[in-house]
Amino acid sequence: MTEQIWMADNPPSRKWPLYTRGNVGEVFPEPVRPLTWEVVGHQAELGWRDAYRDFGLVDSGDFGDEDWIVLGIFGSYCYLNASYIRMVGVRAPGGSVEAMDLQFFGESEAPPYVPRKGDKSLGATLRLTRQVLKTLGMKDLPELEEDKRLVERLAAEAPGADATDDELLDFYLGYGPTFRELFRHHILTTFRGTVGAGLVTDLATKVGQEDKLTTLLGGIGQVESALPAQTLWRLGRQVAASPALTAAFDAGVPGLTDRLGFDGGTPPEDPQVAAFNRDFADFLERFGSRGPNEWELATDTWGLKPEMALAAVDRMRMADESHDPGARSSSLEARRTEATEEVRSALNRFDRFQFDKALRSATLFSQGRERSKTTVIRAHHVVRLALRELCRRASERGGPADPWDGTFLSVDEFRSYITDPAPFLDRIAERKATAEKLTSLVPPFVFEGTQPAVSEWEPRHREQDQVKAGTTLQGIPGCPGTATGRARVVMDASDPGALGPGDVLVAPITDPSWTPLFLAADAVVVDVGAVMSHAVIVSRELGIPCVVSVTDATATIPDGALISVDGSTGRVTVLEEA
């Protein structure tokens, strides 16, 4: 039994004991707040099970009487059940456990799959076969458009700033069923995306063209998670072209909103500043729901803390035109078209027909996955604003200075805390200290049965031997292309440090808040990740050479070292030490 050290922790599954931070680590990179998990945690579990059933995977007896299988909180961190995802590889026609591991988790120390009685299921295989055929024939995703309308209705029903505490709290607590439905479609779209991608992989490998795989899935267009970065790029160009804006940014990001007039200050009387302010306000209107740790309800987003977005603009303004995502994407699209024709020409007529369907399906569902994720995040933000208002009111009534600290409480505790915070201050402080301790540690990436004790976790900023010149590290190819530049190890997207033109971004993990930094760099290297991770999908759309699953890259690659990155082979080589 895993030790419960966090109030949101739950027991691991008895039947499906293998868990991983892979894929879910970029969704919940930090300890999950109890008030978030109590509202959406089990709804996420149920939504994921709904998607598994829709996909045809579930067999009788798979879930039994266990309340938690697919997801879990262990030591405050969110984990994904790898045992059950492996069943897609076991039960799907032509599937394999190795392929599922690679798509979702990347390189890891996961124990090998050991077949068990009941894992194979003829009924599930037949259902999955029907789903594969249906998926390959789909040309649009109408349910995702309905989800967008659902979120519009949610926003229209949201209580305003003059709402009572009870109205705000009821709205927040009532979010679960809506989230379950949105999440169901997101996960189903994700798994349908594996169908086309897997078949493309098989067919390209069949004719010895596996080196084209990353190119085949790049530059597809309409990837919604890439849109904020493209907009921030244009804002960066505005700053670079304006002496007044350049002067404001040169003074530093702290205080920048005041200098530009966003915090009641007086902006420079300059038409370029006025245009930038209008465009930046439009950016916040469109993308204010995005930011670091955006699946967490108790977090600041770009809309709540614009300085984070301005920090990304500050990095982009220094990049030259070669970093233009439009030009890069066009180049990637041209290479994709060329690679597609090369693979098609090597296939026989029947395989060519299957390849065309598979590539179209992989494109549709790759776009759909990011679209469904964006819809969930927008819904989250609607509910987040109600929670933020409650936390702000409690802070004014004697609660902690940081309004979000109130979310270290359970729902029952929070009800009383809103009106009378004083009795909860010590409890909040104790839990916050625990969260800070856990944040300073790296939870095990994979565990089976029981999560190792916290005393065995590695420090997040641990001393580790750094690699020497001439060393090559192997990761998973993310986006094709090569680049050579100085490594800039960045641990926090809101603090990019010296990252600038000609540099290679080396990051622990990425979520959408990192995307703008991709455009400020010549290449991206990530500690963890897989072919379906955020870094891969977005880098392919923006045309940034990318390698993921380079184990301990942030700890072993010296900051400032000259490195080369090959996004086609997954190799990262240290050419010269810092």
SS3 97: helix
Same domain membership, residue 35 and residue 158: yes
pLDDT of the residue at 3: 58
Distances (CA, A) of 82 to 88, 296, 307, 475: 10, 22, 37, 20
Whether residues 419 and 528 fall in one domain: no
Is residue 277 assigned to a domain?
A: no
Between CA 97 and CA 88 the distance in angstroms is 8
Residue ranges of alpha helices (H) inside 56-141 are 82-91, 97-104, 122-137
Statement to judge: residues 417 and 545 lie in one domain = no
Among 360, 395, 423, the domain boundary falls at 423
Assigned domain for 262 exists: no
pLDDT in tens, the chain (578 residues): 455 789 999 999 999 999 999 888 888 989 999 999 999 999 999 999 999 999 999 999 999 999 999 999 999 999 999 999 999 999 998 888 988 888 777 766 789 999 999 999 999 999 999 999 999 999 999 999 999 999 999 999 999 989 999 999 999 999 999 999 999 999 999 999 989 988 998 999 999 998 888 888 877 877 787 888 889 999 999 999 999 999 999 999 999 998 998 866 677 788 999 999 999 999 999 999 998 899 999 999 999 999 999 988 998 898 888 888 888 778 888 888 999 999 999 999 999 999 999 999 999 998 999 899 999 999 999 999 999 999 999 999 999 999 999 999 999 999 999 999 999 999 999 999 999 999 999 899 899 999 999 999 988 876 677 889 999 999 989 888 899 999 999 988 878 888 888 899 999 888 777 888 888 899 999 988 877 777 888 888 888 899 998 988 998 999 999 999 999 899 999 999 88
Residue 411 has a pLDDT of 97
Rg (CA), the chain: 24
Task: Verify that 44 and 162 share a domain, yes or no.
Answer: yes
CATH of the domain at 497: 3.50.30.10
Asked whether residue 194 is assigned to any structural domain, the reply reads no
**What 3-state class would DSSP assign to 272?**
helix
| Owning domain of residue 99 | 18-186+413-423
**Considering 395, 423, 451, which residue would you say is the last residue of a domain?**
423
Count the neighbouring beta carbons within 10 Å of the beta carbon of residue 292.
20
Distances (CA, A) of 89 to 94, 104, 115: 8, 12, 12
In the chain, the number of structural domains is 2
Give 343: exposed, middle or buried? Use CB within 10 Å, 0-12, 13-18, 19+.
buried
**pLDDT value for 100:** 86
564 and 417 within one domain: no
Q: Alpha-carbon distance 546 to 523, whole Å?
A: 6
- As a three-state string, the secondary structure of 549-576 is CCCCHHHHCCCCCEEEEECCCCEEEEEE
Residues 78 and 177 in one domain: yes
Q: Based on the domain organization, do 419 and 530 belong to the same domain?
A: no
Question: Alpha-carbon distance 545 to 521, whole Å?
Answer: 10
Tell whether 171 and 78 lie within a shared domain: yes
Instruction: State whether 419 and 514 are in the same domain.
Output: no
In a domain, 164, yes or no: yes
| Domain assignment present for 50 | yes
Asked if 512 and 518 touch (Cβ cutoff 8 Å), the reply is no
Do residue 418 and residue 562 come from a single domain?
no
Beta bridge partners of 482: 566
**80: CB partners within 8 A, 6+ apart:** 19, 20, 21, 22, 23, 24, 70, 71, 104
